């Protein structure tokens, strides 16, 4: 048992980006406020990083999880700069601004400007005209947690839902818009509707404000549009694991890998965190693990919270990395990649053209790397096919959807049984009841609650660090 001395102690459970950044913020904020706090990070796996898995193999660098983060939000960038890691960053190539949707047998480029978007034939003419009807669409009843599908159907029409929102939700959550909550997944859109009475009105007002700000010399941050999120996708030259490895190195001797936490129990001085081989006596605990793990750990100490958290479902995913000889491809793919609407009934969610997003850093010069995403909320079978079947599925689907018939010279596979949490209708209420019922000294962090992007995880970890420090006596 690791026991108490005159320092305060905080345990962080889970060494993904959420847990490691929470540990970092706890230590930083404690130092700034003159508190003596020891932080221990406890991780089930033998390695740190969670979904951050940068694999070097056969001359390729393949990400099993995230590709990078957007620089238009401050949280990850600030953390990277604070760590002095600016030189390790790798912004994506300009080509990455070109995003596509596979629809009705071909790839359609998503156009950023409203005029070009209206000219593109991703949507039929009635589908495009229906968007204008958004100006007259009935509002979401106040306080109602509506699904993404219901919202899109009512405001923008069935075709926008099928051909644009559905693949976008696949790209972010590998999710199903018929089940997912607007307020939990896209709070900003819910807020825009509420404040401005509609999306077109909101966009027009924001565009006018940006124009005014630009005129008066203020810096204007890139905004999202129909072609994708604003900002530059940014990674690290050596892959995203650079960040989690670096954070872990800040806590050497206090990162306990291969140590799955089974429970936290209260004792007279604080909390005991139990693993199969160790016990940690601490004053506060930050849980930065997936929802089902958090529910298991809290089963004794916070039954009501555990029950609420346990209702958060996950989508499974497989990521198949395929490497090709450049000479075997007529034209190497140029752009970010593409997503596929579920109405197309393909066996993949989409593909990312990694060598085009990060040229020179992910594949040898004479080779090309593509990552194929498989699974999601509606497909719990394909990600678990055996390796050969999975590669064959990816290959066949690339042939149909992007006309890539060449044989890969390299393949690698990652499988995530619980890849991404799904914020279904009622998510925010469940989260509130879980947090309200948590005993003092326990704090929730991680991607299961308020955003799945890396930026969201880092932002929430900073808030969790603040909360945990505030609980110290």
Ligand X SMILES: Cc1cc2nc3c(=O)[nH]c(=O)nc-3n(C[C@H](O)[C@H](O)[C@H](O)COP(=O)(O)OP(=O)(O)OC[C@H]3O[C@@H](n4cnc5c(N)ncnc54)[C@H](O)[C@@H]3O)c2cc1C
Smallest distance from the beta carbon of 243 to ligand X, in angstroms?
Answer: 10
Q: What torsion do the CA atoms of 457, 463, 466, 472 make, to the nearest 10 degrees? A: -80
Smallest distance from the beta carbon of 395 to ligand X, in angstroms?
Answer: 19
Interstrand relation of 284-287 and 314-325 (parallel, antiparallel or unpaired): unpaired
- Pick between residue 58 and residue 453 the one whose CB is nearest to ligand X: 453
- Pick between residue 67 and residue 140 the one whose CB is nearest to ligand X: 67
φ/ψ region of 265 (left if φ > 0, alpha if ψ in -120 to 50, else beta) reads beta
Smallest distance from the beta carbon of 428 to ligand X, in angstroms?
Answer: 18
Give the strands of the sheet with 279-282, arranged side by side.
261-266, 271-275, 279-282
Smallest distance from the beta carbon of 96 to ligand X, in angstroms?
Answer: 11
Question: Which among 97, 108, 67, 79 has a CA at the least distance from the CA of 339?
Answer: 108
Q: What torsion do the CA atoms of 189, 192, 197, 201 make, to the nearest 10 degrees? A: -100
- Pick between residue 391 and residue 420 the one whose CB is nearest to ligand X: 420
Smallest distance from the beta carbon of 81 to ligand X, in angstroms?
Answer: 18
Element (H, E) at 57: strand 54-57
Q: What is the spatial distance between Cα 399 and Cα 418, in angstroms, rounded to a whole number?
A: 28
Smallest distance from the beta carbon of 213 to ligand X, in angstroms?
Answer: 27
- Pick between residue 146 and residue 293 the one whose CB is nearest to ligand X: 293
Residue that has been written with the tokens 């000889």 in this structure: 325
Beta strands in 197-270 (DSSP E): 233-236, 255-256, 261-266
CB 402 within 8 A of CB 108: no
- Pick between residue 51 and residue 362 the one whose CB is nearest to ligand X: 51
Smallest distance from the beta carbon of 402 to ligand X, in angstroms?
Answer: 19
Q: What share of the chain is helix, strand, coil (3-state, %, to 5)?
A: 40, 25, 35
- Pick between residue 169 and residue 319 the one whose CB is nearest to ligand X: 319
Smallest distance from the beta carbon of 287 to ligand X, in angstroms?
Answer: 9
- Pick between residue 286 and residue 419 the one whose CB is nearest to ligand X: 419
Question: How does DSSP classify residue 139?
Answer: P
Question: How does DSSP classify residue 307?
Answer: H
- Pick between residue 69 and residue 410 the one whose CB is nearest to ligand X: 69
| Residues engaged in binding ligand X (CB under 6 A) | 13-19, 42-45, 50-52, 65-69, 260-261, 288-290, 293, 297, 317, 319, 416, 419-420, 446-447, 452-454, 457
Element (H, E) at 254: none
Interstrand relation of 271-275 and 261-266 (parallel, antiparallel or unpaired): antiparallel
- Pick between residue 70 and residue 425 the one whose CB is nearest to ligand X: 70
- Pick between residue 140 and residue 455 the one whose CB is nearest to ligand X: 455
Question: Which among 342, 340, 313 has a CA at the least distance from the CA of 417?
Answer: 313
Smallest distance from the beta carbon of 359 to ligand X, in angstroms?
Answer: 17
147-153: Cβ within 8 A, 24+ apart: 147/177, 147/178, 147/179, 147/180, 147/181, 147/182, 147/425, 148/177, 148/178, 148/180, 148/181, 148/182, 148/185, 148/186, 149/177, 149/178, 151/182, 151/189, 151/193, 152/177
Smallest distance from the beta carbon of 285 to ligand X, in angstroms?
Answer: 11
């Amino acid at each position: 048992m690791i026991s108490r001395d005159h320092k305060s102690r905080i345990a962080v459970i889970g060494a993904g980006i959420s847990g490691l950044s929470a540990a970092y913020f706890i230590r930083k904020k404690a130092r700034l406020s003159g508190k003596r706090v020891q932080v221990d990070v406890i991780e089930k796996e033998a390695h740190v990083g969670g979904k951050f898995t940068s694999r070097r193999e056969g001359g390729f660098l393949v990400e099993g999880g995230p590709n990078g983060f957007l620089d238009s939000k401050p949280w990850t960038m600030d953390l990277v700069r604070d760590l002095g890691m600016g030189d390790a960053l790798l912004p994506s190539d300009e080509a990455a601004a070109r995003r596509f949707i596979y629809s009705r047998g071909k790839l359609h480029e998503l156009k950023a400007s409203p005029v070009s978007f209206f000219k593109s034939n991703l949507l039929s003419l009635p589908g495009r005209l229906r968007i204008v009807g958004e100006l007259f669409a009935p509002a979401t009843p106040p306080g109602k947690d509506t699904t993404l599908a219901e919202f899109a159907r009512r405001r923008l029409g069935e075709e926008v839902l099928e051909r644009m929102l559905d693949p976008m939700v696949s790209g972010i959550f590998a999710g199903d818009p018929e089940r997912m909550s607007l307020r939990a997944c896209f709070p900003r859109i819910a807020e825009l509707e509420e404040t401005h009475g509609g999306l077109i009105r909101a966009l027009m007002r924001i565009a006018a404000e940006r124009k005014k700000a630009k005129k008066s010399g203020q810096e204007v941050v890139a905004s999202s549009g129909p072609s994708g999120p604003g900002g530059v996708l940014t990674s690290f030259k050596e892959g995203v694991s650079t960040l989690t490895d670096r954070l872990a190195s800040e806590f050497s001797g206090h990162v306990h890998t291969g140590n799955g936490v089974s429970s936290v129990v209260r004792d007279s001085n604080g909390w005991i965190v139990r693993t199969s081989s160790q016990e940690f006596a601490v004053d506060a605990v930050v849980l930065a693990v997936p929802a089902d793990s958090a529910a298991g750990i809290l089963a004794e100490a916070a039954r009501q919270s555990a029950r609420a958290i346990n209702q958060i479902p996950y989508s499974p995913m497989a990521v198949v990395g395929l490497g090709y000889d450049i000479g075997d491809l007529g034209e190497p793919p140029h752009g970010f990649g593409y997503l596929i609407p579920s109405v197309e009934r393909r066996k993949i969610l989409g593909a990312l053209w990694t060598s085009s997003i990060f040229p020179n850093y992910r594949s040898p010069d004479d080779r090309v790397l593509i990552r194929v995403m498989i699974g999601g909320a509606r497909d719990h079978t394909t990600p678990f096919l055996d390796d050969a079947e999975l590669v064959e599925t990816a290959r066949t689907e690339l042939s149909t959807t992007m006309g890539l018939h060449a044989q890969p010279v390299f393949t690698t596979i990652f499988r995530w049984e619980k890849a991404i949490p799904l914020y279904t209708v009622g998510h925010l209420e469940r989260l509130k009841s879980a947090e309200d019922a948590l005993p003092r000294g326990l704090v929730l962090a991680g991607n299961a609650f308020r955003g799945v992007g890396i930026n969201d995880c880092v932002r929430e970890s900073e808030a969790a660090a603040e909360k945990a420090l505030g609980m110290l006596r």
